[in-house]
Copies of this chain bind each other. A is one copy, B any other.
Amino acid sequence: MSGPFQTFDDTSAGGPRTARLDALRDEIKKRGAHGFVVPRADEHQCEYAPACAERLAWLTGFTGSAGTAVVLAEAAALFTDGRYTLQAPMQVDVSDFEIVNIAETRLADWIARRLPAGAKLGFDPWLHTAEETERLRVAVRKAGGDLVAFDDNPVDAIWTDRPAPPSAPVVTHPEEFAGESAQDKLARIREALACAGCDALVVSDPHNLAWAFNIRGGDVSHTPITLGYALLPSEGRPTLFLAGEKVAGEAARHLEALADRAEPSALAQALATLGQSGARVRVDRATGAEALRALVADAGGEADVGDDPVTLMKAVKNAVEIEGARAAHRRDGVAVARFLAWFDREAPAGALTEIDAVEALERRRAETNALADISFPTISGAGPNGAIVHYRVSRATNRRIAPGELFLIDSGGQYRDGTTDITRTLVVGDPTPQMRDRYTRVLRGHIAISRAVFPKGVTGAQIDAFARAPLWEAGLDYDHGTGHGVGSFLSVHEGPQRIAKLGHTALEPGMILSNEPGYYKTGAYGIRIENLIIVEEREIPGAERSMRGFETLTLAPYDARLIDKSLLTPEEIMWIDAYHARVFEEISPALDEGTRDWLTKATAPL
């Protein structure tokens, strides 16, 4: 793979789409139905879907990361959330699609009200989870209609130039990075299945597939996964359902030792056969398609919709993965330090733009000679753009980073030994007292998470407010979680671990999370400070409980010009000074002299 990985073209491809909507309505009618649901989802509920799965964007023009269209004979609506209420009407022809904010009207309520009694609503059972389908079914029943699974997707029937499915080669993820053989992982999964009384597991999450078989791929952007399935019996040899063209050479030999192989099209028959034998088959609640559930259940088996046990196993990193994460963060830290030094040198002239910053940072990461991809499109927001939490810079929105403004940059790299994700907020010139107050409050929340110690069993939901308390004191808050899970050369957004109101998974040693409180002043500036942290066991003299705390993985200085020392406790100042000393110690040996001089100043004690 090679960069550049980020492009800046407007993704809202223009052109009239009314003809597509008309053609879709004809296709729906042909199938004897009144309407059809088009989610932004592929068969695996992936965050980054392949181009062939971008049916929603093709049909509506909407490119946001969360949305669903419902097309009825006389009405059509695009449902999305608060993040996209500005973007959606700019991308979508509102004479074709009503734009609906799901916070105001839920999709189920809209269907219950708009679908005529007796009407059939079609859906593609490969693009909805079992639980989602159940909610759809309840809504359709309320309207007095019928929810009908279509055998083929009517969008595909009219999308004549639909891209082919991706076919990037599968590569092995050697034990030097994985830390555990696929054989041992598969044995652990079999044990978990037996414990849960399941005869088999369908692995529908490509991240879990990658982890379980120690393989990686390149089928989607930014996350090194290969799209496919595995069927894992609690006893005996698993079957991998992967397009044959993707598997050759070393990967083929590696997989041969582990599993039988079949084309993805053979999965349906395999599930039906299992179902006929009366088997109890675990289908992943989060990523398993309704079609998987139905194939098992309709054949007479028991489809057990629950958690894929791999999800939790994958979240808990082993010693090799942890050491890899540390190495990846030292390497990434060198690139980030070089970027920050460059920024401090260039920005005061007032000519840099958001895109310049993205390119400069990606270049420095590439110069590590270890960058496999960026882990997500960099969020690079100057001034008011920093206040847009999911901002993605394009040529059209690209903004100069002006003196007196804050600049927020949230980015990460995929390295074979680990995935990184870091946000720093920088000032060009002099910050206002309000900027320093807000930055310092966000930093205090960030430090509170870093310093937290808590007993075994405590969840991310229980500590989330530690990060918010300094903002709450001033009547402020932020509208996103404090932290998400992170994979090991896998997705930068990994579950089930989270630090958020709904993060109900216990934090176990080895889990990697982000720690990223923020503050956003609409129309003015955004602040976010993000490190990755890893849960570790913590020895405390006299402790009566088994305790945990966090080790910080990310190594990059905070912008001291934005810190109001008078708002900090002595413990907080000590923490920052110790962290900065560690950053210098771990990063400086790999730096050129100019950057090292810069880092010396940037990490000086407060």
A contact set with B: CB distance below 8 Å? 452-455, 458-459, 461-466, 468-469, 472-477, 501, 540-545, 547
The interface residues of chain B lying within 8 Å CB-to-CB of A454 are 465, 468, 472
CB-based closest 5 A-B pairs: A475-B543, A475-B540, A462-B465, A475-B547, A455-B477
A474–B545 Cα gap in the complex (Å)? 9
Q: How many copies does the complex hold?
A: 2
A395–B476 Cα gap in the complex (Å)? 54
For residue A538, give the distance in angstroms from its CB to the closest CB of chain B.
8
Looking across the interface, which residue of chain B has its beta carbon closest to that of A476? B544
Given A461-B462, A462-B501, A477-B545: A455 touches B472 (CB 8 Å cut-off)? yes
For residue A439, give the distance in angstroms from its CB to the closest CB of chain B.
16
Looking across the interface, which residue of chain B has its beta carbon closest to that of A434? B542
Checking B452, B464, B542 against A475 with a beta-carbon cut-off of 8 angstroms, the contacting residue is: B542
A150–B542 Cα gap in the complex (Å)? 54
A462–B464 Cα gap in the complex (Å)? 7
Looking across the interface, which residue of chain B has its beta carbon closest to that of A543? B475
The interface residues of chain B lying within 8 Å CB-to-CB of A541 are 475
A385–B269 Cα gap in the complex (Å)? 64
A434–B264 Cα gap in the complex (Å)? 64
Checking B465, B476, B477, B540 against A474 with a beta-carbon cut-off of 8 angstroms, the contacting residue is: B540
Pick from A540, A542, A544, A545 the residue with the most CB of B within 10 Å.
Answer: A544
A105–B540 Cα gap in the complex (Å)? 32
B462 to A542, Cβ gap below 8 A?
A: no
A543 to B474, Cβ gap below 8 A?
A: yes
A288–B115 Cα gap in the complex (Å)? 34
A95–B271 Cα gap in the complex (Å)? 49
Pick from A459, A465, A466, A472 the residue with the most CB of B within 10 Å.
Answer: A472
B455 to A542, Cβ gap below 8 A?
A: no
For residue A48, give the distance in angstroms from its CB to the closest CB of chain B.
31
- 18 new A-B contacts at CB < 8 Å, known A465-B465, A477-B545: A452-B469, A453-B473, A454-B468, A454-B472, A455-B472, A461-B501, A462-B464, A466-B469, A473-B540, A474-B542, A474-B543, A475-B540, A475-B541, A475-B543, A475-B544, A475-B545, A476-B543, A477-B544
